[in-house]
Chain A
Amino acid sequence: MSVPSKVVVQVKDLHKRYGDVHALRGLNLDVYAGEIVGFLGPNGAGKTTAIKILSGFLAADSGSASICGFDSETQGLEVKQVLGYLPENNPLYSDMRVVDALNFIGAAHKLSGAKLKDAIERVVEQTQLHQVYWRPLGHCSKGFRQRVGLAQALLNDPQVLLLDEPTNGLDPLQVVEMRKLITSLGAEKTVIITSHVLPEIEAVADRVVVMNHGSKVMDTDIASLASEQLIAVELHCSVDAFKAICSQAEAHIEEMIVANDSNCQAMIKANGNASELVSRLAEAAVANKVQVANLSPQGHSLEHEFRKICQNDGGQA
């Protein structure tokens, strides 16, 4: 990952309503050059709406979005020239052959002659489309169609790539291939990718923005998440005894779930080695003669937060 320097995507207080539904509620975001940012959230969280506004397909009700310094509303044409966009469900002209679709999108980006030929050769190589180059899009598999969508998004060699659910509907092998491709693209471009699947974002992104009900609820680096493990603890003791044990084990209580005179359940955040903290908690419990009902690592805090969001929304992820 390159060192973040310049802000290339800036979103300020973005609002969007669909009738009574408030799809975006004041989204603020800065994305730096060279970052791969993952928008994560359950269905209906506002990820796709944010991407559609950034791409210029939708207009925001209020607020602003700019890409490479161009305002997406007042400088739409300039934005579209520096942007590559793969929409959700990847709509394509099924009647066209792959070569014709690439030629059309290239011409739309004012490419012609040798420049167009070079651009097509480059994206065909990047997305490995040789096999289906002359094939009608309607006869291509889902995986190849997705690659064609990505190739179209890359034809103008964009500075910023917006990928809305790029692995949707792909089989596991195709998902792995697509992730590799996105990661390699991230070496030279700023990428914003949306997904409602956590491992998807973890696999490709440098940074994750968790959204829910149109708002940003978390914005953190993937690298820092590894050091933020959560441990579920259930001890048969009073609250005071529980706190004393945590204090002895130098554990920070992230969230108390159940707390009464005979049973305490809590989430403990481990800023470092989680298994060491589990050992310290176990030793402290034994020393205080408290029965341990549960003491298990739960993954990192993002996973916990995301699971909570999804459970509150009916558990879709």
Chain B
Amino acid sequence: MRSLVIARREFFAYFESPIGYVVVALFSALAAALFFLVGDVFFSYNQASMRHFFSNMPMLVAMIAPAIAMRSWAEEIRSGTVERLMTLPFSLGQLVVGKFLGVWAVFAVALLCTLLAPISVAMLGDLDWGPVVAAYVGTLFLAGAGLAICCFLSALTSNQIVAWMVGACTLLVFNLVHLLASAVFIPRWLAEISLNIDMSQHFHALARGVIDVPSLGFYVAVMIISLVANTLILSLRRHS
């Protein structure tokens, strides 16, 4: 698969600078801190369950995904290397998918580092690993959707900070849009839409360890739409 050449370059580029290590460390530390320390939920339940751990994931992903994806295109545009990249024998689609797979792999490494949490829980009690694995798969898809959106937004600017801010705001909106449904003045059809496009709503079942195919399908659809939009942006850049 040609895109893997780009993905490999993207993945290793993150770990050439401190930013990759900082993002991975921050993500695992935050995930663990929110689970074990905040609100004392884990210890008060007195159950070997990771449900609360995964319920924090939509918000954590909304913070971390923009930080991982912000440089994907913005830095290439700023430094001019986008010209080198776009004149190599790759289609625009291959470049976009390659970049996306690279940042997705970075997130996967960050997610792997959180395995210390379930391992610790398993040492404290009898942890059912089935739902944990399923929730990890769900988190990967949730992050995939968030990263694809942020890669697309990164292609709109040459400034990484702008890409991060716009990405974080966009993902926050996609995680909080369900709140519209509870507003009395919102028509029912709009409330339904707001529930259906909310990324955190689709994660409820996955956080419980249920492989919810429609929710996974939603995340895959978000990925495809974002990657196609990203390709279109690059194509427009050629014609600008």
Contacts and interface: CB of A to CB of B under 8 A. Distances in A.
User: Are the chains A and B members of one assembly?
Assistant: yes
Interface of A: 18, 52, 55-59, 76-77, 80-81, 83, 85, 87, 89, 91-96, 104-105, 107-110, 152
Contacts of A76: 91
B182 interface: no
A135 to B, nearest CB: 14
B79 A91 contact: yes
B13 A95 contact: yes
Contacts of A58: 238-239
Interface stretch (B80-88, B107-115, B173-181, B194-202): B80-88
15 contacts: A59-B238, A59-B239, A76-B91, A77-B91, A83-B87, A87-B80, A91-B79, A91-B81, A92-B84, A93-B9, A94-B79, A95-B17, A96-B13, A107-B5, A152-B84
B218 interface: no
Contacts, number: 57
Contacts of A108: 5, 88-90
Interface in B84-110: 84, 86-91
A80 B87 contact: yes
Given A93-B9, A93-B13, 12 more contacts: A55-B87, A56-B86, A57-B87, A59-B238, A77-B91, A80-B89, A85-B87, A91-B83, A91-B84, A94-B79, A104-B9, A152-B84
Given A55-B87, A57-B87, A91 B5 contact: no
Interface of B: 5, 9, 13, 16-17, 79-84, 86-91, 238-240
Given A59-B238, A108-B5, A91 B80 contact: yes
Contacts of A18: 240
Contact of A109 (B9, B13, B89): B89
Contacts of A110: 89
Contacts of B84: 87, 91-92, 152
Contacts of A77: 89-91
B16 A96 contact: yes
B20 to A, nearest CB: 11
Contacts of B13: 93, 95-96
B7 to A, nearest CB: 11
Contacts of B240: 18
Q: Which of B86, B88, B90, B240 has the most CB of A within 10 A?
A: B88
Contact of A87 (B9, B16, B83, B239): B83
Contacts of B16: 95-96
